[in-house]
Structures are given as C-alpha cells and as structure tokens.
Amino acid sequence: MNKPIRVLFISRATLYSVKGGDTIQILNTAEALTKLNVTVDIKLCNDIFIDYAMYDLVHFFNIIRPADMLIHIEKCKKPFVVSTIFVDYSAYENYTAKTNWKMKLLNIFSSDTREYIKAIGRMILNSEKINSTKYLRWGHRKSIRYILRNAALLLPNSESEYLRLLKAYGIKQEYLVVNNAADIDTFNCTQATISEKDKSMVICVARIEGRKNQLNLIKALNGTPFNLFIIGNASPNHVQYYEKCKKIASSNIYFISELSQVKLIAYYKKAKVHILPSWFETTGLSSLEALFCGCNIVVSAYGDTTDYFNFNNALFCKPESIISIRQSVEQAAGTKTNIDKIEEAMTIYNWSRTAETTLSAYKTLLTSS
C-alpha cells in the first residue's frame, strides 16, 4: 500500500468562531481527502507550535490574509500550495464611501494599503494577533507577492479568480483550478421537492455584513408579495449594519440566526428562490447548496460567479440597483426550474471531485519535488 500523503491545512484564526464559505470549503475538502487516503490536519494561523516535519506539504487558504501565512512559510521549510480565495472588496468600499466618511477617508489609500490597515485594526480591536514581523515591515502587497512567488502551486476556485490575481499582482505562477462544491448527499433535489416549492418564499443564506448586501435586498423586497428569510449571524464588525437591516425591514422580512447545514435543508427545499446579491463572490457556496435543492438562484454579477452559474436558470443582479435585485427575484420566481442543468452541475461541483483535483495537485507537486 502506498504511504498516505500527510498535509497540513493552515487557515485564519477565526475559522470556527466566524464561519464563512472558507470554513465549509476547508472542512469538506479535508473530509473528502481523507477518503482518498490523505492524512489532513487543520491548524489555525495563530498556532505557532507545529511539528512541520510530520507533513509532506502545507496547504494555505485566503491569500488576502498573508500575515497568517508568512511565519509558517519561514518556519516550515516545506513546499506549500495556496487556495487563494481572492476576494476583492473595492466595489463595496467605493459604494460605501459615498455615504460613509470613514470609508471615504480609507479610500484615499490603495486597496492593498486598506487591507493592511484592516489587518492592524483586527489586531487591535479583535485581538487577532499578527505573529509575522515581516508582514508588519513589508505591508500587504509585498507580502502577497512574496507568497505568490514562493508557492509551489496556486489552487484558485476558478479561472476568473486566477486572472484577477495575475492582474492585481503581476506574478505568473503555476496553478490548477479546484472548483468549490457542495455536499450532494445533503443537498439534492427531486421532482417531488420541486413541486412543493413556495413561489412567494425567497431566502438569503449568508453572514450579515455589508459585502453580502442584505440591506439593498431588504429595500428591494420590502412590502412585496415575497416573504424574505435572511438566514445568518452578523459578522463581528457589522453589528450596526445588522441593526440597520432590522430597522428598515417590513413585516414580510424575517431574520433567522445561523443554522447548521442539516437544518438549512428545510428552507432550501421549500423556497423557490435563493438570492446572494453580494458586492463580490468568488463562488457563493450557499448558492450552490440552494441550487442543488432545486431553488432558482439569483447571484451577483460581480466576481467569479459566471464561472459557476452561467447556465439557463441562474440570474445575475447588480448589487447597487434595487430595481435589478427586485426584477431578478421576480423573474426567478416565475421561471420553471431546470432539473437537467442542476443535475449536470452536481456532477461537477461536489466535494469528491474537488478532493480528486486537489490530490492530483499534491501528487504532481511531490513527484516534481
């Protein structure tokens, strides 16, 4: 029997306390890799006492948080890959700057400088310690360019993501697209499920924060015949945004705290429409989950969403436009669900396939090393 590959996953310190799409991606990728005889340990970036010698390689996540990686890169002396999850906040920040003087002031700086300021802010306000003195000296942009140059392989979630990264930092690097996914055993549709859909029910599953754009969604559906269920918790730094959402919401808007994936199924299976009108998404995992449960989906036109959802019954809205959001929901509610397209997507965007592609990347890397 071949010796199993041992891989160390390293991610942000708040991976479990502030759950996001990367949490789902990391946990499900690890579980699926284990079934392929890969040993995976998950560590958080603030764990600086790691026996790196136990592992064949290191797998980092979230290139926009380079401070989380630098100290481990310096210490581990192992080849490493990066699932880049390269999110771009600039569209949201530019929009917010029109009415928010703090964001307007922050927008004086470049996007990389803004991210550096935010990292320092998280350290001061949220006690997210920065262990890398290199990051403090180099700043955000130089740190990312260093990581890109020294990575053995990049694993973006789409071709679009890699091209954005290349344009932003000008570093050509070997890469392999590893699609994001959803659990097709948990989330799946049947004809019986489709027939039970409530055409007036719209859901949005996401952390409640400015980038996810729940405020404009509420404005779009306030007082309409639709019942909108906003499912998720407020991000730690967006409590005021959450309170504003609740304050303007009319009686057809409902707020539900974060649910486990198992409990989400009931909402996915009943709702006709799922919408994620974010200012930016690399994928939007809840959109995949909802799709596989037979929802017609509305996604943002910004980001890498077309690489995943450019098929017949997906609709794209403009986050800044209340009219675009409302019209997209109305169209989705009145559109017949395309089961064939959903089943086709399920064969592509599942965790088994994601793990197989990831393992292929590991084997290529270790063979060449």
Tell me the C-alpha distance between 288 and 291, whole Å: 5
Q: Do domains 5-89+128-181+351-368 and 191-348 have the same CATH topology?
A: yes
Of residues 121 and 335, which shows the higher confidence score? 335
pLDDT of residue 18: 86
pLDDT recorded at residue 16: 92
Rounded percentage of the chain residues whose pLDDT exceeds 90: 76
Choose between 120 and 179: higher pLDDT: 179
Which of 101-105, 131-135, 305-309 holds the top average pLDDT? 305-309
The beta strands (E) that lie in the chain are given as 5-11, 38-44, 57-61, 80-83, 153-154, 198-205, 227-231, 253-256, 271-276, 296-300, 314-317
Give the mean pLDDT of 282-298. 95
| pLDDT tens figures, 316-327 | 999 999 999 999
pLDDT in tens, 335-349: 999 889 999 999 999
* pLDDT at res. 131: 83
Does the pLDDT value for residue 7 go beyond 60? yes
pLDDT tens-place string over residues 253-265: 999 999 988 899 9
Q: Where does the pLDDT of residue 101 fall: very low under 50, low under 70, confident under 90, or very high at 90 and above? A: low
Q: Does domain 5-89+128-181+351-368 have CATH number 3.90.550.10?
A: no
CA angle (25 as vertex; 37, 13 as ends), nearest 5: 105
pLDDT one-digit tens code per residue, 170-225: 999 999 999 999 999 999 987 768 888 999 999 999 999 999 999 999 999 999 99
Assess whether pLDDT exceeds 80 at residue 104. Answer: no
pLDDT tier, 1 (very low <50, low <70, confident <90, very high otherwise)? very low
Query: Between β-strands 253-256 and 153-154, what pairing exists: parallel, antiparallel or unpaired?
Result: unpaired
Q: CATH classification of 191-348, choosing from 3.40.50.2000, 3.30.70.100, 1.10.357.10, 3.20.20.140? A: 3.40.50.2000
Distance separating alpha carbons of residues 283 and 289, to the nearest angstrom: 11
77: phi then psi, degrees, rounded to nearest 5: 55, 35
- Over residues 21-48, mean pLDDT: 95
pLDDT at 63 over 60: yes
Instruction: Grade residue 124 by pLDDT with cuts at 50, 70 and 90.
Output: confident
Confidence of residue 312 (pLDDT cuts 50, 70, 90): low
CA distance 212 to 206: 7
| For range 23-40, the mean pLDDT | 97
How much is the average pLDDT of 35-52? 94
Does 246 score more than 80 pLDDT?
yes
Evaluate whether 245 touches 208 at the Cβ level (below 8 Å).
yes
Say if residue 295's pLDDT is above 90: yes
Cβ neighbors of 286 (< 8 A, separation 6 or more) are 21, 205, 206, 274, 276
pLDDT of residue 98: 75
Distance of CA 194 to the CA centre of its chain: 27
- pLDDT score, position 210: 94
- 107 with 97: CB under 8 angstroms? yes
Q: 130 pLDDT exceeds 90? A: no
- 363-368 mean pLDDT: 91
Q: Taking all residues of the chain, what is their mean pLDDT, rounded to a whole number?
A: 93
Domain boundaries, the chain: 5-89+128-181+351-368, 191-348
